[in-house]
Amino acid sequence: MRVLVADDDESILACYADAFTQPDSLESTQKLKALSAELFQDSYDPTTAEPEAIFDLVRCSQGDDAVEIATAAMRQGRAFNVVILDVRMPPGMNGVEAGERIRAIDPEVNIIFVTGYSDVTLRELEARIPPPSKLHYLPKPVSFNEVAQMARDLTSDSVARRGGRQDG
Amino acid sequence: MSLKRKIHIVLIVVLTSYVVLSWGILGTVLIPAFEELERKQAQSNLHRVENVIENELEDLATLAADWAAWEDSYRFVRGENPSFHEHLSVISLSRIDVDLMLLFDADYQSAGGWYSSLPEGHAAAVTAVFDHPLDPHDRLLSLSMSGTEGVGLLSTKLGWMLVSSNPIRQTDRQGPVGGVLIMGRLLDDERVEQLALRTEVDFQLLAPEDEPLAPELQASSLSGAQQIFLHSPDDELLLGYKRLEGMYHEPALLLEVHTPRDSSALGFKTVYLTVLFLILAGVVVISVTGVLLQHSIIRPLSQLKDHILEIRKSRRLSKRLDMQRSDEIGVLAQEFDTLTAELAVARKQRIEQTFKAGMAETAAGVLHNIRNAMTPLVNRINRASSAIEEAERLQLTNALDEIRDPDCPADRVAKLAQYLALAHTELERAHQTAQDDLGIACKQVVQVEDILAEQERLAHSPPVIEVLELEDVVQEATNVLPQGDGKQRLVCVDDSVAGHKVKANRLNLIQVLCNVLVNARESIERAGRLDGVISLEAERGTGQTENMVQLRVKDNGAGIESERLREIFQRGHTSKTAGTGGLGLHWCANTLGGMGGWLRADSAGPGEGAEFRMYLPEA
């Protein structure tokens, strides 16, 4: 599952990285949970626990870079399932314009706007970057876990729609 | 170049062209007409003189014919009437106005002769009259001897004469020609003068030796009977010439007629007077036109121009021309006033919109930056919290209790030990995660503080101070209030407000004044006064308030209790119902303070109205 995120704030990009990648100690944690269930009859059932999706997360800090990366990915046949954009990313292209260009080259991709303040309304965004079903808006402050969950949900639909074109 | 100067130049050019054109038309039409009239007058004079000479010849011919057809004359030249000679004398010739009489017999021999300059009793000799003896070959005698009368001008030794030659016959004009009678009248000065009196024409008869040398006057050039020549030696006289034919149709005397150039002089005088009149009329018309243009166009246009320049220079859009005219310039001035008023409103709106846009942009930026900073902060705190919650769910106490229990099976103890080891690792990771996240959260808090500090720094930036006309500010601020029902004005601006210039931020000052005015209006409404009035007055400060301008806003509304006069300037204080508060007097006082002024309030108590005094630095 491929996710592209563009935000001019490095600390936010770091949060995305944390939310969209699995911790290194996942195996020890799984062992701990399994042992806890065995010793103390906890509710954890390793046989039923679904492995969380692994994201191939690509980060950038400018709208121009996002368009360039998305374009290159399309040429390589490795289109992104989800593109997450901030609206204000000075000094270059803003997120709305970047979203328009990415939509122009990839009509299937889901675009999520995550911003602290938008100069354009959601209605205007839907008009400029149709269809509304593939456009999402989350105001900051936002839980990156929620963003990651949304990305998972959207990715599953995207994978189904794109068929065998995707590798992850 | 100013419009006034252009119009003056155009009027002068028009006047000059008008005069030149008039002079040209009159000079080319009227003067030639007078000159033509003058030429015709000269021609007429020539004909009149010529006619009188011909009349004189006819008269002479008649007289000579009578004498020639007389029995006494006939018999005299035949030698049959010697006494005839006795009847003739110079005196008798002068009675019939004849200067010469010659009689020849049929043999061409002189029978007798008389001319006026001879002494009485002396007979004239032919040789004294003619240059040559008259013989049968002489045409003067041969024609008459053949029975033909001859008449015309003839040159003699006595001078040019009017001569008539007649055959002498019997009274019944029958029978053979007995001889020839020649009768002449001298064209001397006396006769010319007589003819001039008769014709009322000044002329002279010039002998060939006295003629001017002009080629046009030579005999060959004026040979025809109709040939005349006109010559004007000066502006006062027109000379007309015509060649008179002699007795034998040879060129004889040159008739010179003097015609005064009265017509031309009259023509020139008429043209001069006409042009002078036209100049005077043109000057009057152009002067009147200039005055009318000055009054109806130039002056109002100058007023409009000065008004526009004044607005351009002072940037005071509140000034109005108020030109009361119904013509196009009046409409233009009124439309300009309207346009200026609309521009003033637009400028006010633009300033407010710019201010609001700036505020919105600042707010948007702050929102964006703070939410950006808050997002990692919240997420990191949430993650740290989640890690701690996960740690709290570990069964550390239970595991330790079971391990301490001697009855606990060894294999369970081993698993419990393994559990504790894994839990320790998990705790360490949770601790590290929480530590990292809290560290990042602290950085984000610092970032938020930086953003707030930047805003605080901006908040302390001094407002842009301008030099303002207090009257304009008052006018703009009072526009926000309704002006009553038309019978009474709610806001009365005293004349003392005009003329004061203050240094302040325009928008801030307008907002402060609006706030004070709105408070005053609401105070009047609360008091239920139908005769509510808000009056504004201004004056220069004195003493401690020197170099300040004091603007007083006084109302006759509900008034303020003395103990509340300080409270009204406190933050958050409002006299309005919940949720309808404006900027507040706290903000107003601080804003005026930021511009170097201050705000004071006075009231005699409830029901006595209130007075707010705004002190502003004088410009």
Q: Do A32 and B419 touch (CB under 8 A)?
A: yes
> CATH 1.20.120 occupies which residues in chain B?
332-459
Nearest Cα neighbor of B168 from B78, B90, B100, B80 is B78
DSSP classification of residue B119? P
Residue bearing tokens 């008739």: B255
pLDDT in tens, B539-557: 998 888 889 999 999 999 9
Answer positive or negative: Cα dihedral of B571, B577, B581, B585.
negative
- Domains observed in chain A: 2-22+54-165 (3.40.50.2300)
Neighbours of A27 (CB within 10 A): 9
Q: For residue range B237-260, list pLDDT tens digits in order.
A: 999 988 888 888 888 888 899 999
Residue B220 reports pLDDT greater than 60: no
- Residue B21 CB coordination number (10 Å): 11
Q: Is residue B132 over pLDDT 80?
A: no
Domain B332-459 sits in CATH at 1.20.120
Q: Are B144 and B180 in contact (CB under 8 A)?
A: yes
The CATH number of domain B466-617, selected from 3.40.50.300, 3.30.565.10, 3.50.50.60, 3.40.1170.60 = 3.30.565.10
Tell me, what's the pLDDT at A5?
95
Where in the sequence of chain B do the CATH 3.30.565.10 domains occur? 466-617
Q: B415 to chain A: which residues are within 8 Å by CB?
A: 35, 38-39
Q: Is B85 exposed, middle or buried (0-12, 13-18, 19+ CB in 10 A)?
A: middle
Chain A residues whose C-beta is within 8 A of a chain B C-beta are: 9, 11-12, 14-15, 18-19, 23, 25, 28-29, 31-32, 35-36, 38-40, 86, 88, 115-117, 119, 139-145
Beta-carbon separation of A25 and B412 below 8 A: no
User: Do the Cβ atoms of A139 and B426 come within 8 Å?
Assistant: no
Does the predicted TM-score (pTM) go above 0.80?
no
pLDDT above 50 for B425: yes
Mean pLDDT for the stretch of residues B95-99: 87
Which residue has better confidence, B64 or A18?
B64
Q: State yes or no: ipTM above 0.90.
A: no
Shortest CA distance from B381: residue in chain A? A143
Q: Along the 168 residues of chain A, how does pLDDT read in single tens digits? A: 899 999 988 888 988 888 887 655 467 888 888 888 888 887 655 555 555 557 899 999 999 999 999 999 999 999 999 999 998 887 788 899 999 999 999 999 999 998 877 778 888 899 999 999 999 998 888 888 888 889 888 887 666 665 544 443
B289-317 residue pLDDT tens = 888 888 888 888 888 889 999 888 877 77
Q: In what order do the strands lie in the sheet with B237-245?
A: B202-206, B251-260, B237-245, B228-231
Residues B459-483, buried b or exposed e (16+ Cβ, 10 A)? eeeeeebeebbbbbbbbbbbeebee
Asked whether the bond before A91 is cis by omega within 30 degrees of 0, the reply is yes
CATH architecture label of B68-260: 2-Layer Sandwich (3.30)
